[in-house]
Structure 1
Amino acid sequence: MKRLIRRFFLVLVAAVLAACTTTPEKPPAPLPGAGAPSLEGPLVVPPLSALPETAPRPLSGKFARVAWTDVPGWSDDDLSGFWPAFLRDCRGLMRPVSGSLAMPARAAPRAWQPVCAAAAAQGASDPAAVRRFLQAWLQPWRLNGPDNRPASNLVTGYYEPMVSGSLQRGGPYQWPLYAVPNDLLTIDLGSVYPDLAGKRIRGKLVGRRVVPYDSRAQIEASDHKPPVLVWIDDPVDNFFLQVQGSGLVRLTSGPDAGQILRLAYADHNGRPYVSIGRWLADHGQMPLSQTSMQNIRAWARRNPARVQEMLDANPAVVFFRSDRLSDPSLGPNGAYGLPLTPKRSIAVDAHFVPLGTPVFLATTEPGSSLPMPRLVLAQDTGTAIQGAARADFYWGSGDEAGRQAGRMKQRGQMWLLWPKQAGEPSAR
């Protein structure tokens, strides 16, 4: 009887999840409790005795130990600028493990303690010294799929948009980006049933019932909208900033004109993501192959009366928070709780690659067959980033980064770089 009740509950939850979860193209926010480390001051590595042993988490991939000479393109990547990103990554690697199965798997702190201690002692390094350090301390492991064959998968790109906005509504600034509503409920199912670790539903209370949270159309029609953080002057910019999950807003009016705000993903309404490009194609407005950001923006200018109808086709809404813009050269925090580094951070499937792991990515330039070998850091996740060697490459912020990200649909392979003394890659 207990098994039947549990099975019924799981079926019920699956139905609720189908109605209440969203799969936006890029939700880069850290899960609650990720604990972003301070980036101020020199890197401090705790002694090994201060990092307790924790139970390992299984990884879905297989790993084959290889020599550095077997990593294609390893010597071709210019490692200029990689060292500061690696030291930042060590700050994340040295955080204690929370033990929460709701969080993505991450690299084991004890495995990395000797490496990060040596890195902190070494200080700044030129590219040749960085390569020598990595080769001395780390071992490359080729990532294989569950079938134990070398994994090859899709490599896409993402970026941080920069848009124009105002803190007050007026003139062209008519498109709101919202903060988290006070009545939004987020229910962590894994806290009750470990089998559902990482599964959350979002909704709100109506009387004594939990119901799905309002769709985009319902929010816009409501008299009780979420608090507005900023107003954007272009509906397509507004939409794509939500798809990317974070962005920079240059204030262009009022007493705060000239300032730049960073909006970071905070939560979402739990509704499924629907492509407005698909909506335009299905309604005969343009072929699906032509639904670029530029063409969608041009359509919106020609059809201002139908813009809200187009946007309402996507019921998903992303909510934001304002983040301090301490270093404009760094991106928003990824799922690992660290700022993303342009062209050095990727989103991965943490079932195969633990967050915090240095990864050598062998892929090609966007829209090209030219090799693009790149040493990167696994610092983010995404609902569309699933499977062995699947990656999303962070290009940075602004229009050029957006163009590169939009063109990137390449194939790639991965080699995880893991401490030599620690055996094959593992997760906590």
Structure 2
Amino acid sequence: MSSPSRVGRLRGSLAALAILGLLVACAAPPAPPVKPSTPPPAATPALEEQAPRQRQVLLRERSRWVAADWSELPGWGQDRATELWPALLQSCARPAPGWAAVCARARMEPPPTDDTSASLWLMQHLRPYRVESLEGETQGLLTGYFEPQLEATRRPQGAFKVPVLGAPADLQQRRPYFTRQQIESEPAVKARLRERELAYLDDPLDLLVLQIQGSGRVRFSSLDGSQQWVRLAFAGHNDHPYQSIGKTLIERGELRPGEASWPQIRDWLRRNPQRSNELLWTNPRYVFFREEALPDLNLGPRGAQGVPLTPGRSIAVDRNSVPYGTPVWLDASEPLSSQPLRRLAMAQDTGSAIVGAVRADYFWGWGREAETQAGRMKQPLRLWALWPDDGTGTSR
């Protein structure tokens, strides 16, 4: 006899299949009418009602995962699930513990040709878990990030006078290192770091955005018209705390709460250029970079898992809540349209501000449109982790 847990999971899977439009109901002949004088037969309680299912709980350092049915995932079956596959295969290049068998199947089998097949493949090999805090809170926060795409020069010229610095040789020996204000204003510090200048930007806010996002792609244009794209990747920071300039503007009454998005901050700086340094120096953290080749403009930056990020399918997480390489189901909304954002994504990155059980940062891609979406994203979030299932209700 099937266990109550197995029956509950089967019912959930059947419900999910119905959502996917794969459950074809066979028409049954109508039952004969029951005479009014005949008492109806006593209802037999369902097996799950006779013995309520005890849901499996997996404990992690900052979260607990509660086993769920596929039918509990809002919008499951309506996502373009085939779009997850490139990101899934990227993570399988560095599989998390317990993922070797699933990743081997994913690499050996032909990729799904349609969204229904992709969803069924995940249902066959994985099991959903609702992610919640250790105290049982199921709602968290979804923010967004992106990769800046900027113009730059190799040497200071014209408006391009804002240096992007590589990591100093003594960065590890001097902790904390110089503050942002010292690096950008003290002649002696500027002189010792001059040989570390990798590129020059034309806007100090672009440098700050590049440092907050952790990487960026820049285009160098030569006088002969040739162009070169490179990626500036994170190489370390000065070990000072990060201070949000948007929060500073709100605290000073310059912006109202809810207005501190990148477009509003840019607008404030355009209207107050003489106060630019005063504002930027309230954030003492300074990030250093290294230059990397960018042969493929469609390839995203590497996240903390060590694999390239995929726009719209990669997220940053608290690795003490959700391990790298875990597929997740997001239930949130888009920042500009407020349309539901219910989709599959891979946990492939992290960030200093991404802390907590139900907490994620959504990678929008690169360029100004991605910046606009990411800068306005601060949405309520529910999260389900998809984890390998051995078919017996236990997680590997």
Coarse TM-score class (shorter-chain normalised): 0.7 to 0.9
CA drift of 1:351 comes to: 1.2
Note if contact 1:248-1:260 (Cα within 8 Å) is conserved in structure 2: yes
Residue of 324, 331, 339 corresponding to 1:370: 339
Amino acid at match of 1:72: P
Q: How many residues align?
A: 332
1:132 equivalenced with 2:120 (yes/no): yes
Paired position in structure 2 for 1:336: 305
Paired position in structure 2 for 1:86: 88
Amino acid at match of 2:144: G
Distance 1:150 1:233, change over 3 A: same
CA drift of 1:336 comes to: 0.5
CA distance in 1, matches of 2:252, 2:222: 36
Secondary structure at 2:124 match in 1: helix
CA drift of 1:344 comes to: 0.4
1:123 equivalenced with 2:110 (yes/no): yes
Amino acid at match of 1:225: L
Amino acid at match of 2:348: Q
Secondary structure at 2:85 match in 1: helix
CA-based RMSD of the aligned residues comes to 2.4
CA distance in 1, matches of 2:226, 2:280: 28
Distance 1:295 1:405, change over 3 A: closer
Paired position in structure 2 for 1:346: 315
Normalized against structure 2, the TM-score is what? 0.77
Cα deviation, 1:325-383, whole Å, max 9, x if unaligned, reads 24322321111011111000111111111111111111112145432111000001111
Cα deviation, 1:7-35, whole Å, max 9, x if unaligned, reads xxxxxxxxxxxxxxxxxxxxxxxxxxxxx
Distance 1:352 1:284, change over 3 A: closer
Paired position in structure 1 for 2:180: 216
Amino acid at match of 2:120: R
CA distance in 1, matches of 2:229, 2:101: 39
Amino acid at match of 1:215: T
CA drift of 1:128 comes to: 2.4
CA distance in 1, matches of 2:234, 2:177: 17
Cα deviation, 1:91-124, whole Å, max 9, x if unaligned, reads 110xxxxxxxxxxxxx31xx21211111122123
Cα deviation, 1:203-225, whole Å, max 9, x if unaligned, reads 51xxxxxx531111212212212
Amino acid at match of 1:212: P
Secondary structure at 1:360 match in 2: strand
Amino acid at match of 2:373: Q
Note if contact 1:367-1:410 (Cα within 8 Å) is conserved in structure 2: no
Cα deviation, 1:272-325, whole Å, max 9, x if unaligned, reads 222333444566655565444334434444554443333222211100111222
CA distance in 2, matches of 1:395, 1:215: 30
Residue of 143, 153, 167 corresponding to 2:131: 143
CA drift of 1:60 comes to: 3.0
Paired position in structure 2 for 1:225: 193
Distance 1:150 1:295, change over 3 A: closer
Paired position in structure 1 for 2:55: none
Normalized against structure 1, the TM-score is what? 0.72
Distance 1:85 1:174, change over 3 A: same
Amino acid at match of 2:134: P
Paired position in structure 2 for 1:238: 207
Secondary structure at 2:363 match in 1: strand
Paired position in structure 1 for 2:374: 405
Which has the higher relative contact order, 1 or 2, with Cα contacts under 8 A spaced 6 or more apart?
A: 1
Cα deviation, 1:23-78, whole Å, max 9, x if unaligned, reads xxxxxxxxxxxxxxxxxxxxxxxxxxxxxxxxx99533222222222222111111
Note if contact 1:141-1:424 (Cα within 8 Å) is conserved in structure 2: no
Distance 1:278 1:391, change over 3 A: closer
Bigger CA radius of gyration? 2
Note if contact 2:66-2:129 (Cα within 8 Å) is conserved in structure 1: yes
Amino acid at match of 1:336: Q
Paired position in structure 2 for 1:72: 74
Distance 1:116 1:292, change over 3 A: closer
CA distance in 2, matches of 1:296, 1:253: 31
CA distance in 2, matches of 1:292, 1:360: 26
